[in-house]
Chain A
């Protein structure tokens, strides 16, 4: 309790420095939160796309069932396919009817003979799409192969770029926050030099003298992480409808409250570590006691 009082007293003594340190931490972890959401969101989109059949191979009308079975076996034998699903002409018609049930004109003239049988292939990794496509493309029974390979590649590229950019940007901001904490705590040590000297002479241990400064560093971190988590929560709440509309069938909302709890705990721990390390460096650098 006494430690909390001391830390609050320290913060109140020079509120502008405290504000600067708190804002730097908030900005850092707000940006980190945005990148975290983008990276996780990107991963959800990528997972969604990866779970769809990524390669659809349509058979020629005259393809025999034996050949179709051979091709399915061949695809499975590559070890690259997670799932291979054979869609007969009748099943294709059923899917067509389901998709166009509100358009009677489109249903009228279509029979099973109009639609080709196909195999829907889900691959283990997005990077395997090319190899699987090549494996089926050469078969004479295959009429056409369609693949969303470009979309997946683009998504993979974007998520990687966001991840790399996020790491660089957040690391730079962390470094700035770290330096600001060193500066602020260093100034506080200078302001309290007389007090520290007296405490040292009357028998205070180094730990006793250092403790309030370390606690101050941790407080900056936890405050910054808490505000940033709250901001990102509020933003996602406000824009959830627009984001969901943009993503279409990819279901992202509602986001589990656990996500925000994990985000807050993770950021608070990291921020406290940054704050305490910054304060520790300032103490090492400026606290010269005999």
Chain B
């Protein structure tokens, strides 16, 4: 379970990204984090991976206060969280296979294990036949699926996806979110997807947390989203 308790994030330039956020997400949930640009969606996700530090409040993950975890233990927290970044963060000089293998390499898995696991995940996202291609040779949707594959390859209990449908056409965007839904249902992975794509949110009828100006304006079980 993930809990944000009275979390506020104020940047050094004075900008308040999040203000007094209280949010509870159960294991295995699929949550859309919606809101206009600058609403605080990305800040919320980055707080959870401890890339940034809150100005106030507590963040609990499985009842452990992640703000009390020493820096040396943060990598172990991050291994439980898969992240699909807004800008993909793929290594352009590495093949798809090598990109997806990175989270397994950093935990020193054997080459055989990496080979088997990465192949399995690439098959799941429909990219096995393109394993030896480089990111520059792929379409936008394929790049996004590669980023998802890398995020789930180490079987995290939580998957964060920051605007994964950003620059994609509606059909591809839909296929990407369907893939996230499949991961959520099959692997019981908690999925938190930040987006401002109303069409997608309304199609899936999932929990919707609406953020505006750093505050939660709405939190609905099968919510709808009307873009501002």
Contact = CB atoms under 8 A, between A and B. Distances in A.
Interface in A178-230: 194-195, 197-206, 208
A290 B76 CA distance: 14
A198 B52 CA distance: 15
Given A199-B102, A199-B106, A290-B51, A205 B89 contact: no
A27 B21 CA distance: 61
A31 B85 CA distance: 52
Contacts of B106: 199, 202-205, 208
Contacts of A205: 72, 75, 106
B8 interface: no
B146 to A, nearest CB: 13
A62 B185 CA distance: 119
Contacts of A195: 91
A200 B83 CA distance: 12
B143 to A, nearest CB: 14
Contacts of B107: 203
A208 B75 CA distance: 10
Given A203-B78, A203-B107, A198 B102 contact: yes
Contacts of A197: 89
Nearest to B52: A290
B91 A194 contact: yes
B144 interface: no
Contact of B103 (A2, A194, A203, A206): A203
Nearest to B83: A201
Query: Mostly helix, strand, loop or mixed at chain B's interface?
Result: loop
A205 B74 CA distance: 8
A207 B76 CA distance: 13
Contact size range, A? 10 to 19
B195 interface: no
Interface in B73-100: 75-76, 78-79, 83, 85, 89, 91
A202 B51 contact: no
Interface residues of B, number: 21
Contact of A202 (B50, B52, B78, B108): B78
Contacts of B72: 205-206
A202 B108 CA distance: 13
B165 interface: no
B91 A202 contact: no
B71 to A, nearest CB: 8
B154 interface: yes
B145 interface: no
Nearest to B151: A202
Interface in A121-149: none
B91 A201 contact: no
A198 B153 CA distance: 14
Contacts of B52: 290
Contacts of B51: 201, 290
A139 B106 CA distance: 84
A203 B76 contact: yes
B150 interface: yes
B124 to A, nearest CB: 18
Interface in B94-133: 102-103, 106-108, 111
A201 B72 CA distance: 13
B49 interface: yes
A197 B180 CA distance: 24
Contacts of A206: 72, 75
A191 to B, nearest CB: 11
Given A194-B89, A195-B91, A197-B89, A202 B76 contact: no
5 contacts: A198-B91, A201-B78, A202-B79, A203-B75, A204-B106
Q: 7 tightest A-B contacts by CB?
A: A203-B79, A204-B106, A203-B78, A202-B103, A203-B75, A205-B75, A198-B89
Given A194-B89, A197-B89, A204-B106, 4 more contacts: A2-B111, A202-B150, A205-B106, A208-B108
